[in-house]
Amino acid sequence: MEKKSNVTIKSIVAIGIGAALFFVVGRFVAIPIFANTTANLQYGILSVFSIIFGPLVGALAGFIGHTLIDLSWGGPWWSWIIASAVFGLIMGLTKKKIDIDNGVFGKKEISIFNVAQIIAHAICWIVVASSLDVLIYKEDITKLVGQSLIAFSANVITTAIVGTALLLAYAKTRTKAGSLKKED
């Protein structure tokens, strides 16, 4: 019996478009706030791709997109690239809790989305990026505390605004399950 692959042409295209959008928005729309730290609108976009297409697309779009941003600035900073991939992965796992494909994105789903993105950002910027900065680059932990808390806070705010708005708009384009049934 042949095992069916989860990688489809649709997911490959989504990875490419998601990574390209992540790069363009992250490279050209980032708002500097503190020592190599910016407010990033691209995490709102990455969260949308992750919710729509799942964890593989989210992780790879985040990894590739962040790598391209870093390469355009001179070199990859692997700890933060990995954190972006982890963010896409975690948000992609949230897809199971939100029925966005059927146009369902009400108050409950908005709450689930925002709790998930807050947890994902905390894991990524406070734990993953900081830990890997110390392990890989021997960064000073006192500098990292401030940097990671600022990145976490800025990313939570921008993801809440951009991600929620884009998911609300996307849900309106979807046909709700049962909406085409004949009424009595």
Q: Is residue 2 one of the residues assigned to a domain?
A: no
Q: Outline where DSSP puts E strands in the chain.
A: 31-34, 37-39
Q: Is residue 182 one of the residues assigned to a domain?
A: no
Q: Is residue 183 one of the residues assigned to a domain?
A: no
Question: Domain with 53 in it: what CATH number?
Answer: 1.10.1760.20
Q: Is residue 100 one of the residues assigned to a domain?
A: yes
pLDDT at 178 over 80: no
Exposure string over 124-150, b if 16+ CB within 10 A, otherwise e: bbbebbbebbeeeeebeeeebeebbbb
Q: Is residue 21 one of the residues assigned to a domain?
A: yes
Q: Is residue 3 one of the residues assigned to a domain?
A: no
Q: Is residue 178 one of the residues assigned to a domain?
A: no
CA distances from 105 to 17, 108, 112, 170 (A): 23, 7, 10, 9
d(CA 5, CA 24): 30
> Residue 2's pLDDT is what?
58
pLDDT at 182 over 60: no
Q: At what angle do helices 55-73 and 42-53 cross, to 10 degrees?
A: 150
* Confidence band for 175, pLDDT divided at 50, 70 and 90: confident
Bigger pLDDT: 127 vs 147? 127
d(CA 81, CA 86): 9
pLDDT at 3 over 80: no
Tell me the average pLDDT of the chain: 92
Average pLDDT over residues 122-136: 96
Q: What are phi and psi of 157, to 5 degrees?
A: -65, -50
Residue 9 C-alpha from the chain's centroid: 21
Q: What percentage of the chain reaches a pLDDT higher than 90? A: 81
Domain total of the chain: 1
* Confidence band for 20, pLDDT divided at 50, 70 and 90: very high
> Residue 179's pLDDT is what?
60
Average pLDDT over residues 101-111: 97
Q: Which domain holds residue 135?
A: 9-173
